[in-house]
Structure 1
Amino acid sequence: MNETQLSKRPSNEAISEDILNIIREKARALRFGAISLTIHDGRLTQLEITEKRRFGQ
């Protein structure tokens, strides 16, 4: 994408404080794993959490 194409994209909207709080809460609760954010047209549309559980021998 060149600079002209980038400038024609819609401006990103701010992520609401409620959504940021959910992301923080999920991150604090996660011991081992990953959090994936899905963005469509510059907007956050999905949050996925993959949790790993490890068991001792």
Structure 2
Amino acid sequence: MSNSTASIRRSAPALGEVAEAADEPTSAAPWLTVVSDKVKSMRFGVVQIVIHDSKVVQIERTERTRFDVPQPAGRR
């Protein structure tokens, strides 16, 4: 990784720094708990975080249900 790329990546805020919901630096923002719960309760899917003016305003969850369907011999 080049030095210019490394400096760009370091200057971007970490995910926990996007919303300034917590007054104390040691407490987690409430949206982090919501995201964590949604991720832990699904097997397949997507969790999207919507941000406006550097604040988390919405969390969307799309869950997939997958079925293991056996394929007939000779077909893919």
TM-score normalised by the shorter chain: which range applies?
A: 0.5 to 0.7
Structure 1 residue 54 and structure 2 residue 66: aligned? yes
Question: Structure 1 regions of 5+ residues with no counterpart?
Answer: 1-11
Which structure has more relative contact order (CA 8 Å, sep 6+)? It is: 1
Of Structure 1 and Structure 2, the greater strand share is in 1
Which structure is larger by alpha-carbon Rg, 1 or 2? 2
Aligned residues of 1:36 and 1:47 also touching (Cα < 8 A): yes
Question: Structure 2 regions of 5+ residues with no counterpart?
Answer: 1-17, 23-28, 70-76
Task: Please report the RMSD computed on the Cα atoms of aligned residues, expressed in angstroms.
Answer: 1.7
Quote the sequence identity (%): 30
| Deviant stretches of 4+, over 4 Å | none
TM-score (norm 1): 0.66
